[in-house]
Structure 1
Amino acid sequence: MKELLLRALALFHRQTPYIWDGTCATGIHMIVARGSTEAPGLGRIGVVAQNVSMLIPNSSVAAVDYPATFENYFTSYATGASEFERLVLEHVQACPDTRIALLGYSQGAHAMMDSVCGDGDGEFVLSLGFRQALASQVVAVVGFGDPSFNATAPWSVGTSTGAGLFARKNITACEPYAARIQSWCDEGDVYCDLGNDRAVHGSYFSNYTQEAAQFVKEKFDNSDPVIDLPTTTAPPTETTAPTETVSTSILTPTSTPTETTIPQSAAGSFGPSWMMVASIVGSMMVWMELL
C-alpha cells in the first residue's frame, strides 16, 4: 500500500506543467504556486494538494505558470500574483459553483498573498472582479515560508514571532478573508523569519502538510462561500512588523541592477519604489542561496 502511494505521489509531481483540463470539479479546485527555483509544475507544495485531494474526492489542481527565479525576483513573483488572479477568474467564469483553494510555497506564497492582499504598500491593487471572486468562491488560502510573512497578522501560524524579507504591513485588502487564510512560518527560516537556519524553509511539508490539508477540508465543508465586501474604502490597516537586524553587507548589490519591465494585468501594477526594494531583496535572496 505504501509503495502504491509513493508511486501515485511521484506521478502527481511528474505531471508538469499541471494545467487544468476545463472540467468543473465536484470537489475543490486548487491553484498552486511552487517555490523559487523549483521546476515548472506543482513543486513541493503539490504534496498539500495531493493530501487535500484524498480528503476531498473529485478535486482538481492547476499550477501557476511563472518564472519562480531569484534573478529578477520582483518581475518573477509579480507575474505569479497576476497569474493567480487570471486563473481564479478563469475558473470562476467556467465553473461558478466550484469552490477554490490557493496554495503557495516560498516565492509562490509571496505571489499568492500579494494577489489576495496587495503588495503591502498600496501599489498593487485588486480588481473588483477578483475581490468578488475571493469573496464568493475562494474558501481557503494556504502558505508555507512566505517572505512577506508578519507574525502579527491574524492568519499567521507556526513558531515564528518575527517577520520576513518583505514583511507585510498593509492588510486592508485581505482583512475580509482573514478567517480563510493560514500562513505558516517557523523560527529560523531565512526568508519568512529572517533567521539563519536554511533547513527550516524546507521543513513545512513534513511538519504541516496534514494540518494544512485539514484546514482546506474544513473550509470547504463549513464556510459560507459568500463574504460581504465593504462598500467603501477603509483606511489602511497596518500591523507592526517585529524589528529585525540585517547585516548591511547583505543589502549591498554585487552588481548594477538591470532594468525590468513591470508587467500589467487586471490585478493591478507595481510602482517603481516597490521595484527598487524588491530588487535589493532579490539580491539578498541570491546571496543567501549561495551560503
Structure 2
Amino acid sequence: MPSSAFRTALVLAAAATPCLGQTTTSSSAITCATGIHMIVARGSTEAVGLGRIGVVAGNVSELVPGSSVDAVVYPATFDAYFASEGTGVLAMTAMINEYTAACPESKIALIGYSQGGQVAMDVVCGTSETLFNVTADLSDALAKNVVAVVTFGDPSHMSGMPWNAGTSNNTGIFQRNNTAACEPYNPNIRAWCDTGDIYCDKGNNRTIHGTYFSYDHYVSQAAEFIVGRYNESLANSSSGAPTASGTATVSPTVSSTGGATATTAPPVVGQNAAGSFRAGGVGMAGIVAVVGVAFGLLL
C-alpha cells in the first residue's frame, strides 16, 4: 500500500486544480451491434476519443463483423485525477446499463489504458482503492453481457491475480482493497502490466508505460482474448450469432514524439467520441514531478 506521505502528495496534487466540467451525450437511439460492442476508456491526457488502446478495438472489429465501439466521455486528466477517474467510472457504468437495457442479449467488452484501465476495473470490481470514492461492483447479472475486460497499465493493478498478463509481479500505486468483488468477472479479465511501469508496477521507468501498443504480440493477444471470450459466450447462449475466428492482423501505427511512443488506432465501426471537458491546474509536468517526489518517499 502506498505510504501516507505518498498519498498526501497525490492529494495535494489533486487539490491544486479547479473543478472539472464535462459535457456528456445521451444514447437516446441505440443500435444493437450484431457483433460485440466495445466500450473504450482512454489513458490520462489523451485527446477525447479512443486513445492509443483503440488499436485493440480496431483488431476486434476486423475479426468480428458487425462490432461497434463507443468511447467513454470523461476528463482523463492527471489534474484532479481522483475526480476524473471517478467520473469515468460513472460514465462507463451508465453506458453499460443503457446499452444492455436497449440490447439485453448484447455482448460487451470493456477496454481501458492507464487511468482508463483503472476505470474499467473499478466498474466491474467496484472502487475500493484508498482516496477514491467507493462505488459498487457491477451487477453479477451483467456477467452474461460483459464478456471481456482488457486493460493495459492500470494503476490499480494487483499482483497474483489470475487475470494478470505481462511481466509485472508487483501491485500498482493504487492498491485495490477488495478483489473478491471481481469474482464473477474473473475469467473475462486480462490485465497487461510490465515490470518497471511507474504506475501499474510501481517501478521507476517512465518509458514502459507508453510502449504497450508498440508490441504487436500484446495488441494481438488482447484482441484474440476478447474474441475468444465473445465466442465462448455465444456458445453458452442461445443467441445464435455467428462466432469469429482468426488472428488479429491490424497492426498499430507507431510514431515517436519526444521519446514517448504514441499509437494511432485504425478506424473502427460505430465510434462515438463526442463530448468535451475543461480542466486546469498544474498539468502533466507538475503531476510527474509530484509522482517523482512520491516515489522518492517510498524508497
**CA distance in 1: counterparts of 2:35 and 2:103, whole angstroms:** 12
Residues 82/18 of structure 1: CA separation in 2 closer, same or farther (3 Å cut): closer
Which residue number corresponds to residue 159 of structure 2? 151
Residues 56/289 of structure 1: CA separation in 2 closer, same or farther (3 Å cut): farther
Number of corresponding residues: 218
Deviation at 1:153, TM superposition (A): 1.6
Counterpart code for 2:74: Y
Q: Highest relative contact order (Cα 8 Å, sep 6+), 1 or 2?
A: 2
**CA distance in 2: counterparts of 1:285 and 1:66, whole angstroms:** 21
Which residue number corresponds to residue 114 of structure 1? 122
**CA distance in 2: counterparts of 1:165 and 1:285, whole angstroms:** 14
CA RMSD of aligned residues (A): 2.7
**CA distance in 1: counterparts of 2:219 and 2:146, whole angstroms:** 20
Which residue number corresponds to residue 211 of structure 2? 203
Deviation at 1:125, TM superposition (A): 3.5
Q: Residues 151 and 157 of structure 1 are in contact (CA less than 8 Å); yes or no, is this contact kept in structure 2?
A: no
Which residue number corresponds to residue 25 of structure 1? 33
Residues 217/132 of structure 1: CA separation in 2 closer, same or farther (3 Å cut): same
Residues 19/189 of structure 1: CA separation in 2 closer, same or farther (3 Å cut): farther
**CA distance in 1: counterparts of 2:91 and 2:100, whole angstroms:** 14
Determine which of 212, 216, 224 is the counterpart of 1:214. Answer: 224
- Which moves more between the two structures, 170-179 or 29-38? 170-179
Deviation at 1:206, TM superposition (A): 2.3
Q: Residues 109 and 146 of structure 1 are in contact (CA less than 8 Å); yes or no, is this contact kept in structure 2?
A: yes
Deviation at 1:126, TM superposition (A): 2.3
Q: TM-score, normalised by structure 2?
A: 0.67
Where 2:201 maps in the other structure, the secondary structure is: coil
Determine which of 142, 158, 164 is the counterpart of 1:134. Answer: 142
Where 1:101 maps in the other structure, the secondary structure is: strand
Alignment of 1:4-83 (within 5 A): 22-83=30-91
Alpha-carbon displacement from aligned partner over 1:176-203 (angstroms, at most 9, x marks no partner): 1100000100001011011111111112
Unmatched tracts of structure 1, length 5 or more: 1-16, 228-282
**CA distance in 1: counterparts of 2:25 and 2:54, whole angstroms:** 10
**CA distance in 2: counterparts of 1:90 and 1:286, whole angstroms:** 39
Deviation at 1:205, TM superposition (A): 1.1
Alpha-carbon displacement from aligned partner over 1:141-191 (angstroms, at most 9, x marks no partner): 000000000121221111001111102231121111100000100001011
Where 2:134 maps in the other structure, the secondary structure is: coil
Q: Residues 79 and 287 of structure 2 are in contact (CA less than 8 Å); yes or no, is this contact kept in structure 1?
A: no
Q: TM-score, normalised by structure 1?
A: 0.69
**CA distance in 2: counterparts of 1:226 and 1:173, whole angstroms:** 23
Residues 186/53 of structure 1: CA separation in 2 closer, same or farther (3 Å cut): same
Q: Residues 35 and 66 of structure 2 are in contact (CA less than 8 Å); yes or no, is this contact kept in structure 1?
A: yes
- 2:105 pairs with 1:102: no
More strand by percentage:
2
Residues 44/285 of structure 1: CA separation in 2 closer, same or farther (3 Å cut): same
Unmatched tracts of structure 2, length 5 or more: 1-23, 238-285, 294-299
Counterpart code for 1:184: W
Deviation at 1:217, TM superposition (A): 0.2
Q: Residues 32 and 64 of structure 1 are in contact (CA less than 8 Å); yes or no, is this contact kept in structure 2?
A: yes
**CA distance in 2: counterparts of 1:34 and 1:225, whole angstroms:** 30
